[in-house]
Structures are given as C-alpha cells and as structure tokens.
A and B are shown apart, each in its own frame.
Chain A
Amino acid sequence: MNASATSAIAKVRRRPLSPEDRATFFFLLPIMVVFAVLTLVPLLSSVYYSLTDYNGFSTDFNMVGLKNYVTIFSEPELLHSLGFTLLFAVSTTLLITVLALPLAVTLNKQFYGRSLARSLFFFLGIPAQAILGLIWRQIFSPMKSGIFNQILDLFTIPPIPWTSDDHWAQFCVIFVGVWMGVGWHATLYLAYMQAIPADLYEQSLIDGANSRQQFIHITLSQLVPAIVVSTFLIMTGNLKVYDLPFTLTAGGPRNATMTITQAILLRGTGQSQYGVGSALAVLFTIVCLLLVTIQQIVASAIQRRFE
C-alpha cells in the first residue's frame, strides 16, 4: 500500500459523520428492526431447525444434519407440492400475459360500455382469493348439481369430476388463477399504453402498416417495460399461492393441488415435523430467490434488445 492510499483512507476515517449520515441511520432504523425481527431471525431459525429433529414443542432434540432435506427429496408428496406450486406460478404467468395483452389492446379501442367492461374485468382481481376460491368451489362442484356440470348437462355432456380428479383439480386452480389475474394485468397494460406516443401509430399508418403489424412493432415493443413489471408481479405473487387452492380444493384430491405453503404448515404444525417443515421453508426460499433472479436476468436481456 503506498503513502497516498494510506492518507486517503486516513482522510475518510477522520471525516466526521455528517448530519445526513446520522439521519440515514435513524430513517433506516425502523426497517432494519422490522427486517431483523420478522425476516432475518426467523429465516436463520428455520435454517437451524431444518438441521434438527425438533418436533415443535419438546426441548429435547438433536442435530440430524441434512436428513430433513433427504426426506423432502424422498417423499413424493413433498416434491409434488413444490412441483404444483411451480406449475401454478409458471403457467399463470404465461397464460395471464398471453391473454391480458390482446385484452388490453381491445379495451383501448372504442366501443359502447367501455368503462363498464374495463371495470368488470378489473374487479375480478380485487376480492380476496380465499372468497373467490370458495365461490368457485361451488361452481366446480364435481356433483351433478354443480354449476358447470348442470351447464354441460344442457348440452347432454356427462358430468366432469372437476375438483375430485387430480388433473381436473389442477386445471380448476389454474383456471381460477388466470380468471382473477387477466383483467388486473390488462388494466396495468392499459395504463402503460396511454403513454405510447400517438404519432408512432400515425407514422405507421402512412407507411401502410396493418393493425397486426402495428400490434407487433409498436404496441408490443413499447410495452416491454410493462410486461417486465407484470410478469414479475405475477411470478412473485403466485409462487406464494396458498389461499386459492386451499379454499377451492383444500389441496386435494390426494395432494394434487397441495402448495408448498400448505405443506410447510402441515408438517410444521399438524404433523409435529417442525424440522421437515423448516427444511421445506429453506428450500422454498432458495427456489424463490433463484426464480426471481432468472426472471430478472431474462427481463433485462429482453429490455436491452428493445432499447
């Protein structure tokens, strides 16, 4: 280390704390406390208990190493809950985006009752997921009296075992997830579309572009930032899904629609496998961080291409 570098460091050290520096500390204090108490300490405690055979109440427990993690990978039920959570998050992200974009374009055109149509679509994403799940449970009832089965009956189609069949139940949960999200995200796109300069469209008309070309070359490329925000919100929100499948199918039949959250709660509280529950929680955190990172990398790559 040469002399000038040493003196530079000394200068930094000698510099007194400015009032601003002190102020930043006080302004950050509440969020540091909140983060430490509600996120960091619980997360570290999850990591610790994930390495033990703790059952949730007994004070007598042992370190078992990675045994709980091995358990997760050897129990199909637990792996399945992780799989369904990922399936739900990824498929709703794709489906909502593919449907919301054209819907937003349509809602942006002129027609009668436009604000009513906008509000109706938007509102579907507003009530509690748990309440919507309960409503749809009635509609998707696998019994002959179920609403959808009665409609099928009108066309003399035999009843479908909606929520009592593994694959149909997964379909139902994803269907309702998309139903709730499309209008909400179309509204988000609509808001962004108001910022697209109108002369872009005028210019393209002069150049003889048709409406499909306009959609692809102007609307879509101008909406890239909106797509990034929207998919980010759906992905992070829907990885945390719990309320909807829990109320619609209760995770059944035979754990077909069990989410990772439900599995954590079941193991950690109901089945006295606090260690396994904690290991699931840790694994889930890693998966979330990974997915969000991947999403960010892909998003910024796409954004660079369109700049």
Chain B
Amino acid sequence: MIESRANTVPRKIVRTIVTLGSAILCALPLYYVIVSSFKTSVDMTKHPFALPTEWTFANYAQAVADGSIWTAFLNTLIVTVFGVILQVAVGSLAAYAMVLKKNWLTVGMGAVLTLAFCIPVQSTLLPLYKMEGTLGIVDSLPGLIVLYLADSAFCYYLIVGYMRKLPTELFEAARVDGASPFRIYWQIVLPLIRPILATVIVFQTLAVWNDFLRPSVFVSSAEKCTVVLQVYNAVNAFSTNWPLFMAITCIALAPVVVFFMFCQRWIVSGLVAGAVKG
C-alpha cells in the first residue's frame, strides 16, 4: 500500500486496537483452555476467566499418568507419516502421467479423477468398513492408513495444476538425453514441484492428524487410539473433570502449535497463483 495519508500514526493506532483487539477476542477460547488447565475444578468454576489463583500441574500429571496419551501420539504419527507419504506419491505420479503424454488413458483418468475428488468419503464408509472387516484390518493402523489413500485424488488435483505450468522443454531435453520417464519424474519433476509438494504435505498432514471421522468409526481398542479420538474419549470418561480435559487438550494441541509455527507459510502459498483451477 502506498497511500501515505492512510498510514499516519493515529490511524495505525486505531487499526491496531480494532484488529489486534478482535484477534485477541477470537482467540479467547484458547486462552480459556490454557488457563483452565492449570486450575482446580473449584477454581475453574469460581473464576473462569481469571488467571489461576494457585497454579497447579496436577491435571497434567494426571493426563500423562497412564501413558496412553503417548501411545496415541505414536499411533497418530505413524498413521500421518505413512498416510501422507503414500497419498503424495500416488497423487504426484498420476499428475506426472497427465503431463507426460496425452492419450486416451490420461484423458479418461483425468475426467474420472475430477469426479472422484467430488465423491465424499462419507458415502463409501459403510462398504469400506465391511471390506476391512472381511480382510481383518479394522481397528489396526494399516487399516487406517489405507483409508487415507482415498485423498490421493485431492493431492493429484493440487499437483497437476502446478505441473501443467512447468515448461515441457525440460522433460523433452532429458528425454532426448535418454533419461527414462521414471528418472525424469524422480530427478527433474519432483525437485521442480517442491513448492506445491510443501503445500500438499502440510495440508494433508494437518488433515490426517486432525481427522476424527475415520478413527472414530474404524478404531475401537484403546491402544490403537489417535490423539483426537483420545481427547474425545477423555471427555466422556471424565465428564465432570473439566480441568483435566483442558490439560489433555493442551497436550494434544502442543505439537499442532509447533507445526503451525514452522509451516504456516506453506499452508496456503501453493493454493495461490492459479495452482488450483477452482
């Protein structure tokens, strides 16, 4: 913005009060969660908005006492890492096929995948449950990872838009030099699409890590719980002990906060500059 008139100090101060003020107002629920996690139940009911009258770490001690939260973290980490790597691999390979050669197969699959992207996972959940039941992989981490592969169509959709803008001469030159299509994918295409890969990976990491629907349907045993499911179960188990719930929530959100701080610039950057054709 180049208007100097609009950037005088009094205007900036007014803007600061209004904007920063509403940001803080919107973030108050998070403040409430954090302060409550350090309170006793009595303190929380009596002074819901104040800082704790006496800081207590008992809730945190209780939250990690049985160690189940660490198991949940490990499960979620395994599911997220494998789920996202597989999705991105499948999606980017398909996107590469689209720009490699136009033939009846790529044109047909392009149309099918656009359609697939619009089919919600909800409408396939019941048969998938039956299918996994027959295979005996319900309530297992591999069973959960397989389900997230359905998001490959979304990864494909984001990556192909970016790939189409790459100059094709690059592939041509490599092909003339005798590089195999896979080698071109691995050594030329993947490094070139790093910006969109970063966005897709960050986006899908959050999506898988935060998912509640699939774990809540497919996971039944406590030792296979993901973090979000663990938090949900905790509320039902200690329905009256809200400070304990707040402590568990804080522990569950801590990695998300750290992840956000390091990766926030990639979350939307890849969606810009026509990467997605809406």
Contacts and interface: CB of A to CB of B under 8 A. Distances in A.
Contact of A187 (B2, B122, B268): B268
Interface in B26-42: 26-27, 29-30, 32-33
A151 B116 CA distance: 47
Assign chain A's interface to a size class.
Answer: 35 or more
A34 interface: yes
A1 interface: no
Interface string A286-302: 00110010001001000
A305 B27 CA distance: 38
Contacts of B253: 127, 131
A73 interface: no
B103 A24 contact: yes
Given A269-B126, A269-B129, A130 B232 contact: yes
Q: Which among B20, B23, B228, B260 has the highest number of chain A CB atoms within 10 Å?
A: B23
Contact of B2 (A46, A114, A201): A201
B207 to A, nearest CB: 10
A288 B120 contact: yes
B168 to A, nearest CB: 12
Contact of A239 (B32, B115, B120): B120
Interface string A206-235: 000001000000000000011011011000
A127 B227 CA distance: 12
Given A31-B91, A120-B27, A145-B45, A228 B181 contact: no
B156 to A, nearest CB: 6
Q: Is the interface of B mostly helix, strand, loop or mixed?
A: helix
Contacts of B242: 138
B156 A31 contact: yes
A16 interface: no
A236 interface: yes
Interface in B74-113: 89-91, 93-94, 96-97, 100-101, 103, 105-106, 109, 112-113
Assign chain B's interface to a size class.
Answer: 35 or more
A261 B94 CA distance: 29
Nearest to B127: A42
Contacts of A142: none
A46 B228 contact: no
A54 to B, nearest CB: 10
A34 B90 contact: yes
B126 A106 contact: no
Interface string A19-35: 11101110110111011
Interface in B1-43: 1-3, 6-7, 12-13, 15-16, 18-20, 23-24, 26-27, 29-30, 32-33
B64 to A, nearest CB: 17
B26 A264 contact: no
B152 A31 contact: yes
A270 to B, nearest CB: 11
Contact of A43 (B112, B119, B153, B231): B119
A23 B13 contact: no
Nearest to A187: B268
A271 interface: no
Q: Which among B232, B256, B272 has the highest number of chain A CB atoms within 10 Å?
A: B272
A63 interface: no
Contacts of B278: 225, 228-229, 231-232, 296, 299
A78 to B, nearest CB: 14
Given A24-B106, A117-B20, A129-B210, A281 B101 contact: no
Nearest to B149: A34
Given A30-B89, A34-B150, A285-B119, A242 B213 contact: yes
14 contacts: A20-B100, A20-B101, A25-B105, A30-B89, A31-B91, A38-B149, A109-B7, A111-B15, A112-B13, A124-B30, A147-B32, A246-B212, A264-B125, A268-B126
The 5 tightest CB contacts between A and B, nearest first, are A128-B210, A228-B278, A42-B124, A130-B212, A42-B127
Given A39-B153, A265-B125, 4 more contacts: A130-B212, A191-B271, A201-B1, A201-B3
